[in-house]
């Protein structure tokens, strides 16, 4: 028998490490060449890594949530006598999807993290040899981790040389003294897509000076148009929501406000203004928030727009969206539909400079020409990067969008450019 150590492969695009998302094998398992063994995530993509050889798994490196450097040992195989050992690097792993810039542009998600109940163990395992001698062998970092987690190192059986306690020993159910109500709590490790969302949301909020602008829009006429179009919609077309109408109106408005259809390249200190309008549609899925992109939205007719938004949302929710469908937006629209509330303050999808949020449409009493009437009102909640979009320009853009939505026939009229 011989052993083969498979190292974390180079996943491209300058990747230096990858996060373990889910192991699909464990020590002792027999695997065959090209069988999926592990899912990992880089800052660019979720990647499925296949086995480079057939054999028995001896050991694996890292638990879900751990990062492994490119070129470091990932998994060790025991090969049968005469089995061939790869002479060169195996074919690049398959990227199942790519991470896109945030509010929520992210990757096609890996398997969700498993919630592990925290409960008082029934029996304590034998202490490590080091602990039995009155001393515990482990690193300062592990001591700090144990202290923060409330773990008594003297009760942990170390799996390292001479009973040394490794980080993995602290992450795989090491015994600890817990509060009396610990059985009523659940710990969920933040990994994969949720970790990526958290990091990018935090980065966007920390680095971008957001300012919010909320405007009330009377969508009574828009609702009448929507109902009319739904009654006469093309065969096989889905029901029309406000979203395609708002996106179409936005593309008309951006023709007059190109400074809101830009990306900020922080590394070069350059604003990249786009002529095409690639509109990101923030989409809630069971695995987190994703932002599939309607490319060249300005060139789509209404039913084409509706069909494309529906197609992309379905692909995002079923984890079938490709990298090209999840990256490259120049401005984002987000909507919680009937859960939209009165107002919100959406986080900008960096490196964009603007995001438009749709709140729920409800009937309210309003004063019109001296009389109280019932109208359908919807608030638009927008956020802008104050470094590059002045308050006046942001307000002017939202007012122009409001005008189009309140007079929906103008949604279908391109902006007339002055000579």
Give the active site residue among 24, 210, 274, 386.
Answer: 386
Q: What DSSP element (H or E) covers 395?
A: helix 391-406
The verdict on whether 34 is a catalytic residue reads no
Please work out, in degrees rounded to the nearest 5, the angle formed at the alpha carbon of residue 316 by the alpha carbons of 312 and 320.
100
Does residue 186 sit in helix, strand or coil? strand
Environment class of residue 254 by beta-carbon count within 10 Å: exposed (0-12), middle (13-18) or buried (19+)? buried
Residue pointed to by tokens 């492969």: 9
Whether the CB-CB separation of 164 and 156 falls below 8 Å is answered with: no
d(CA 201, CA 282): 13
d(CA 35, CA 51): 5
d(CA 36, CA 379): 47
Residue pointed to by tokens 């309210």: 364
Q: Name every residue whose Cβ is closer than 8 Å to that of residue 94 and which is 6 or more positions away in sequence.
A: 47, 48, 50
252 phi and psi angles, rounded to 5 deg: -65, -40
d(CA 21, CA 40): 5
Give the active site residue among 184, 265, 390, 407.
Answer: 390
The string of DSSP codes covering 282-332 is EEEETTEEE--EETTGGG--HHHHHHHHHHHHHHHHTT---HHHHS--SEE
d(CA 249, CA 198): 31
The verdict on whether 210 is a catalytic residue reads no
Q: Do strands 279-285 and 45-50 pair parallel, antiparallel, or not at all (unpaired)? A: unpaired
Active site amino acids: 386, 390
């Amino acid at each position: 028998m011989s052993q083969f150590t498979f190292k974390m492969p180079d996943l491209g695009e300058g990747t230096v490490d990858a996060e373990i998302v889910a192991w699909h094998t464990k020590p002792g398992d027999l695997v065959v060449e090209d069988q999926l063994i592990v899912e990992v995530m880089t800052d660019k993509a979720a990647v499925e890594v296949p086995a480079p050889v057939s054999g028995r798994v001896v050991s694996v490196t890292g638990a879900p949530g751990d990062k492994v450097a490119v070129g470091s040992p990932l998994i060790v195989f025991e090969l049968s006598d005469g089995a061939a050992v790869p002479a060169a690097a195996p074919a690049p792993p398959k990227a199942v999807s790519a991470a896109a810039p945030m509010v929520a542009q992210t990757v096609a998600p890996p398997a969700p993290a498993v919630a592990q109940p925290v409960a008082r163990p029934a029996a304590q395992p034998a202490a490590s040899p080091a602990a039995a001698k009155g001393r515990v062998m482990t690193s300062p970092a592990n001591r700090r981790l144990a202290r923060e987690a409330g773990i008594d190192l003297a009760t942990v059986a170390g799996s390292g040389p001479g009973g040394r306690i490794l980080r993995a020993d602290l992450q795989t159910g090491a015994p600890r003294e817990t509060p009396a109500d610990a059985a009523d709590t659940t710990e969920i490790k933040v990994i994969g897509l949720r970790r990526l969302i958290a990091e990018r949301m935090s980065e966007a909020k920390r680095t971008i000076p957001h300012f919010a602008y909320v405007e009330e829009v009377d969508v009574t006429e828009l609702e009448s148009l929507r109902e009319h179009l739904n009654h006469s919609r093309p065969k096989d077309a889905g029901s029309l929501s406000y979203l395609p109408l708002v996106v179409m109106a936005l593309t008309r408005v951006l023709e007059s406000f190109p400074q809101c259809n830009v990306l900020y390249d922080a590394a070069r200190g350059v604003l990249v203004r786009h002529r095409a309008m690639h509109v990101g549609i923030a989409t809630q899925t069971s695995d987190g928030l994703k932002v599939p992109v309607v490319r060249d939205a300005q060139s789509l007719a209404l039913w084409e727009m509706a069909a494309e938004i529906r197609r992309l949302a379905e692909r995002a929710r079923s984890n079938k969206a490709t990298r090209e469908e999840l990256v490259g937006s120049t401005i984002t629209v987000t909507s919680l539909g009937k859960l939209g509330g009165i107002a919100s303050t959406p986080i900008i999808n960096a490196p964009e400079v603007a995001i438009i949020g749709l709140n729920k449409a409800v009937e309210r009493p309003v004063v019109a020409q001296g009389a109280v009437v019932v109208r359908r009102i919807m608030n638009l909640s927008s956020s802008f990067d104050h470094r590059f979009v002045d308050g006046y320009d942001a307000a002017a853009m939202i007012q122009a969008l409001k005008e189009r939505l309140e007079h929906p026939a103008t949604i279908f009229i391109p902006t007339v450019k002055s000579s």
